Amino acid sequence: MVKVVVCGAAGGIGQPLSLLLKQSDLISHLALYDIVNAAGVAADLSHINTASRVTGHVGKEALAEALQGAHTVVIPAGVPRRPGMTRDDLFKVNASIVRDLAQACADHCPRAFILVISNPVNSTVPIVCEVLKKAKVFDPRRVFGVTTLDVVRSSRFVHEIKPQFEPRSNRITVVGGHSGATIVPLLSQFQQRLSFTPEEIKTLTHRIQYGGDEVVKAKDGAGSATLSMAYAGARFTNALLEASVRGKQGLVESTFVHLGGNPGGEWNARATGLEYFAQDVELGVEGVKNVLALPDLSAEEQALVKTAIGELQGNIKKGVSFVAEAAGAAGPAAKL
Ligand code: NAD
Ligand code: LMR
């Protein structure tokens, strides 16, 4: 039985993501959790003629039953940006939403793979890991920040100026994190084949780094990317299921992971000085099979990675401190 839980399933991402996951033959039970409307979304999706069972779970009291027995939990719960906001501005609201969902995972499905979509990913992933560490159930191979949308955008945007670049089958590695300057697409991987000019590299890099802003601006107050994110989230979830359930070898996706304790992670931790970093990861039966080493970077990419590292340090620290401070504030009661 492969149970996949979507937390935030009634939202702009949650609904189309659940629709895409309903197509998967690897999922036998799709559990949709939200604080509102998940029952309706589940009833609707349950009429689709694929084999998986769909259940809806509404409100905090239904969270335990939603998570019980989960193989994978995907988290797009929380508020999206409006024009003029940064992803970091979402921290105030989303940090505690993600922390509480992580705690519930620790309590009810401690071995589940956890895929974090909620922003700011550079801080929410450390929040999840810290909660699991405190609960003594942390396995770094099982927690992922979903940065696949940056990879999807990279392929699409490159195709727009280099039509010979097939966007579906060609994957561009995107390292760093998931916000503005922390998003570093490694376009030099395709330099020989595509002969980018320096101006093309500059324009493409900027567009990939700030692609989220294009959507936020176009939606004009009605949220951020939902449909492309659902597509990207389903792509990552499906890759993880192919590797972990079907045992498919050689599947690689860029994703933001905890480096310590992960195969190949120590090399990246030494190279970046960071505890978390988005990098190409080979997926396996237990989740992370290997964090690949950073490939050779162009001079421009080296400078971009350096800038990203500076910003990531603050983002990561913010997530880690949030959990530590909450534990401190709880005081002696936390020991009961
Ligand atoms: P949305 O407001 O449309 O949906 C969010 C859903 O979360 C809502 O249905 C809401 O009821 C639910 N929710 C709120 N608190 C909850 C809780 N405690 N438990 C369960 N569900 C809860 O927002 P959206 O457009 O779907 O975006 C969701 C998040 O995903 C945002 O933080 C956004 O910034 C982020 N996002 C990330 C990426 C990425 O690349 N990782 C891309 C796009 C959006
Ligand atoms: C994106 O990259 O589209 C998401 O992170 C949403 C956002 O706030 O831009």
Query: Catalytic: 29?
Result: no
Element (H, E) at 192: helix 191-194
Ligand 2 atom with the shortest distance to the CA of 228: 3
Catalytic residue among 108, 178, 206, 258: 178
Instruction: For residue range 119-136, list pLDDT tens digits in order.
Output: 999 999 999 999 999 999
With tokens 């895929």, the residue in question is 115
At 327, the pLDDT band (50, 70, 90 cuts) reads: confident
- Taking only the tens place, the pLDDT of each residue in 42-53 is 999 999 999 999
Ordered domains of the chain (ranges, CATH): 3-145 (3.40.50.720), 148-313 (3.90.110.10)
Give the pLDDT score at 332.
53
Q: Strand 276-284 vs strand 53-58: parallel, antiparallel, or unpaired? A: unpaired
DSSP letter assigned to residue 294: P
Pocket test for ligand 1, best of 85, 89, 224 (most atoms within 8 A of CB): 224
Pairing between β-strand 113-116 and β-strand 29-34 as defined by DSSP bridges: unpaired
Q: Degrees (nearest 5) of the Cα angle 310, 292, 247? A: 135
Cα separations (Å) of 155 from 76, 158, 163?
23, 5, 11
CB of 228 within 6 A of ligand 1: the answer is: no
Instruction: Give 131-173 pLDDT, tens digit per residue.
Output: 999 999 999 999 999 999 999 999 999 999 999 999 999 999 9
Alpha carbon of 224 to ligand 2 centroid (Å): 6
Helix (H, G, I), strand (E, B) or coil at 255: strand
Expressed in angstroms and rounded, the spacing between residue 34 Cα and the centre of ligand 2 is 20
pLDDT digits (tens, 9 = 90+) for 180-197: 999 999 999 999 999 999
Report the relative pairing of strands 287-291 and 276-284 from DSSP bridges: antiparallel
Can you tell me the distance from the alpha carbon of 21 to that of 274, in angstroms, rounded to the nearest whole number?
33
Which residue CA neighbors atom 1 of ligand 1 most closely? Answer: 11
- Quick one: which ligand is closest to 146's CA? 1
Residues having CB within 6 Å of any atom of ligand 2: 80-81, 87, 119, 149, 212, 215-216, 224-225
Q: How far is the CA of 150 from the centre of ligand 2 (A)?
A: 9
The per-residue pLDDT of the chain, averaged, comes to 96
Q: Where is 303: in which H helix or E strand?
A: helix 299-330
Q: How far is Cα 253 from Cα 236, in angstroms, rounded to an integer?
A: 7
CB distance 7 to ligand 1 below 6 Å: yes
Rounded to whole angstroms, the Cα distance separating 329 from 333 reads 9
Q: Which atom of ligand 1 is nearest to the CA of 90?
A: 32
149 lines ligand 1 (CB under 6 A): yes
Q: How many A from CA of 192 to the centre of ligand 2?
A: 30
pLDDT tens, residue by residue, 60-107 = 999 999 999 999 999 999 999 999 999 999 999 999 999 999 999 999
Q: Given ligand 1 and candidates 37, 60, 79, 115, which is best to mutate, with the most ligand atoms within 8 Å of its CB?
A: 79
Give residue 245 CA to ligand 2 midpoint distance, Å.
Answer: 29
